[in-house]
Chains A and B, each alone.
Chain A
Amino acid sequence: MATTDVLKSSPAHAITASEKAESAARRIGFSGYLACFNGIVWREVLRYLHQRERFFSALVRPLIWLFIFAAGFRQTLGVSIIPPYESYVLYEEFIAPGLIGMILLFNAMQSSLSMVYDRETGAMRTLLVSPFPRSFLLLSKLLGGVSVALLQVYAFLFVAWFWEIQPPNITEIKLFTMYDPPHWLGRGLSGVTEPVVTTLFTLPAFLQPFAGYITVIPALIIAGLMLGSLALFMSSVIKQLENFAGVMNFVIFPMFFASSALYPLWRIREASPLLYEICRFNPFTYCVELIRFALHGQIDTVSLAVVVACTVGFLAAAVYAYNPSKGLIARRGGPGGSA
């Protein structure tokens, strides 16, 4: 049988010329979008599971911080009772949300790195020539990256559980609001300097012991999307893979260290008011706080607002950068493009 006769020999899949012409004008329905979304997420997860080294390095990094760094600092750094904590906590417990944020941050940057690599090798093209809207494709890819990050976070929480780093018993889901606007935002803006806590609803008793593992999921998704959008935008700005070392120095480290991941902000304010303002300007701080409060069944409204706003901003920038008519990619002849 000639090679292409196979395409014709199967009645179930043989296509007549009229079918071809009809299908040319078909609009892709909801099931098509769902298939595309599932396919992109599935590929990201599958690739991750195939790369065992990536899995272990992603797990080992925060665990080193937890078991070595935090153990060392426990005796030297006292954490006072600050929301959402209702009692003194061990330093390990304090930095756990920061380390979860670190997992999200590194995962996002890893995605950015792989996108730059995909762009250089041309693999990004297979995604971008799909008939679905580019914004949908990029958002699906982002959510695929977030799915991988969720796997990493829960692997971390699973190991941390054995060291009794666990979310507390949660009886109620609450809304938490407290905000002291920084000076650079303008003197006219009035803040909410005392915490305002509103109970939204009470949880059933059977959920309460492990509710923190569930309530943190939306926070992880939103924070993961924000960091992923930033990474996606950066992947369009970074011209070559070699430039990625700069990302480590100028993005990952400053974002992580100039935040509330490792120390409470009031401690930083005591040490340096300028650094305190930088930390408050850093969107990663709000990712960490969103996760910290979510682990205690609380929604930190200010952090939520900042993270959502940054997600929208970064995503818009990324979609613009990948826009075929206006974007940065088009101007310089990427992705993987050459004359």
Chain B
Amino acid sequence: MTTNEARNAHAARDATPALVVTGVSHAFGDKKVLDDVSLTVPQGGFVVLLGLNGAGKSTLFSLVTRLYDNISGQIAIRGFDVRRRASQALQKLGVVFQSRTLDSDLSLIQNLKYHAALHGFSGADATARARQVLTVVGLAERENEKVRALSGGQARRVEIARSLMHRPDLLLLDEATVGLDIGSRESVVKIVRDLVRTEGLGVLWATHLMDEVKPGDHVVVLHQGRVLFNGGVEAFLAKTGKSTVSAAFRAITGTEASVGEAA
């Protein structure tokens, strides 16, 4: 391979989207929870997955993280199919789950080093990386404290730090700010948006809190297992003829009742 070919190949690989979901459907027994879902998260892109509770967001996350396999359609992380090349795909994936998944009996750094081990590295590398990511989320001073001593917002920041430990290309965050006070929410959102800007991570941010959508974001509206809208937030407003994301969401999903907008 010549230098130019190598450069071109590298450029092509780098342009590979962080996540591509194509025509994915899923059912539990007779109950269909996802119906022909397609979306793309570009490298360095922030995509908001908007949907009410029960819309299918968590199921989609479970399929992307290969907690169970997709029966139809295809999911690729950085070009690696999660079914056929699961190991390579999962190496590039960082996840913050909806429920708290830290070990409260262990310290912050012990939790992070455990995660490092689950990705195949340990020792000085893991310790150095743990301190680095704790610095990113502003908790470096508390590395030896037990997780149970942290507030909800701080624990969330540790989970974000954990998801960064193995240097992923794609971050999935499932309702990461639910249950947090406004200050903690803003802090978490800022950290993640900074990561997109400075690290070039692709982020899929699932939420039902409409005020977390910002101008310039890409929005995917998931409702009753189907994608109702997939595009920029400005196009979303234009399509529905509404002035706020919340109103546009209500209009497109036909849910006139409250959609859980944060105060």
Which A residues have a C-beta under 8 Å from some C-beta of B?
2-8, 10, 12-13, 15, 17-18, 20-21, 23-28, 31-33, 35-36, 38-40, 42-43, 46-47, 50-51, 121-123, 125-133, 137, 324-325, 327, 329-333, 335-339
- Check: B149 CB closer than 8 A to any chain A CB: no
Q: Are B59 and A339 in contact, with the CB atoms below 8 A?
A: yes
Contact residue among B31, B69, B80, B123 (Cβ-Cβ distance under 8 Å from A330) = B69
Asked if B184 CB lies within 8 Å of chain A CBs, one says no
Mask for B159-199, Cβ within 8 A of A = 1, else 0?
A: 00000100101000000000000000000001100110111
Residue B263, interface by CB 8 Å? no
What residues of A have a CB within 8 angstroms of the CB of B250 in the complex? none
Query: In the complex, what residues of B have CB within 8 A of residue A132's CB?
Result: 87, 118, 120
Complexed CA–CA distance, A337 and B66 (Å): 12
Q: Are B99 and A324 in contact (CB under 8 A)?
A: no
Measured CB to CB, the closest approach of chain B to A278, in angstroms, equals 36
* Whole-angstrom CA separation of A39 from B69 in the bound complex: 26
| Known interface pairs A4-B194, A128-B67, A131-B119; A121-B110 also in contact (CB < 8 Å) | no
Q: Is A3 in contact with B120, judged by CB distance below 8 angstroms?
A: no
- B: contact size bracket: 35 or more
Is B106 an interface residue, CB under 8 A from the partner? yes
Q: Is the CB of B118 within 8 A of A47?
A: no
Q: Is B239 an interface residue, CB under 8 A from the partner? A: no
Minimum-distance CB pairs A-B, first 7: A39-B117, A32-B120, A330-B68, A122-B99, A325-B69, A130-B118, A131-B90
What's the minimum C-beta distance from A174 to chain B, rounded to whole angstroms?
A: 40
Q: Which of these, B33, B86, B138, B198, contacts A131 with CB under 8 Å?
A: B86
Rounded to whole Å, the gap between the CB of B252 and the closest CB of chain A is: 20
- Contact residues, B81-108 vs A (CB, 8 A): 83, 86-93, 95, 97-103, 105-106
B105 touches A24 (CB 8 A): no
- Asked if B78 and A332 make an inter-chain contact with CB atoms under 8 angstroms apart, the answer reads no
Q: How distant is the Cα of A42 from the Cα of B116 in the complex, in angstroms?
A: 13
* Cβ–Cβ < 8 Å partners of A3 in chain B: 136-138, 190-191, 194
Q: Which residue of A lies closest to B164 (CB)?
A: A7
Q: Does B214 contact A (CB under 8 A)?
A: no
Within the complex, the shortest CB–CB distance from B222 to chain A, in Å, comes to 11
- Given A125-B65, A339-B31, A339-B56, 12 more pairs with CB closer than 8 A: A6-B136, A7-B199, A12-B128, A23-B91, A24-B88, A47-B105, A125-B101, A130-B119, A131-B89, A333-B59, A337-B67, A337-B68
Contact indicator B132/A7 (Cβ below 8 Å): yes
Determine whether the beta carbon of B28 is less than 8 Å from that of A331: yes
20 A-B contacts (beta carbon < 8 Å)? A5-B198, A6-B132, A24-B78, A32-B121, A35-B116, A36-B119, A40-B114, A40-B118, A47-B106, A129-B66, A129-B90, A131-B89, A132-B87, A137-B118, A330-B68, A333-B28, A333-B68, A337-B59, A337-B68, A338-B58
Residues on A with beta carbons closer than 8 Å to the beta carbon of B73: none
Closest residue of chain A to B90 (Cβ to Cβ) is: A131
* B144, CB-defined interface residue at 8 Å: no
B151 proximal to A (CB < 8 A): no
A23 partner residues in chain B, CB cutoff 8 A: 91, 167
User: How distant is the Cα of A47 from the Cα of B103 in the complex, in angstroms?
Assistant: 9
Determine how close the nearest CB of chain B comes to the CB of A125; give it in whole angstroms.
Answer: 6
CA gap between A1 and B224 in the complex, in Å: 43
Closest A residue, CB atoms, query B80: A24
Interface members, chain B 112-161 (any A CB < 8 Å): 113-123, 128-129, 132-133, 135-138
Q: Which residue of A lies closest to B94 (CB)?
A: A129
Docked-complex contact B92 and A24, CB < 8 angstroms: yes
**Which chain A residues lie closer than 8 Å to B86 at the CB level?**
131
Known pairs A24-B169, A333-B59, A337-B59; A125 contacts B106 (CB<8 A): no
Chain A residues with Cβ below 8 Å from B54 are 339
Q: B residues within 8 A CB of A7? A: 132-133, 136, 164, 198-199
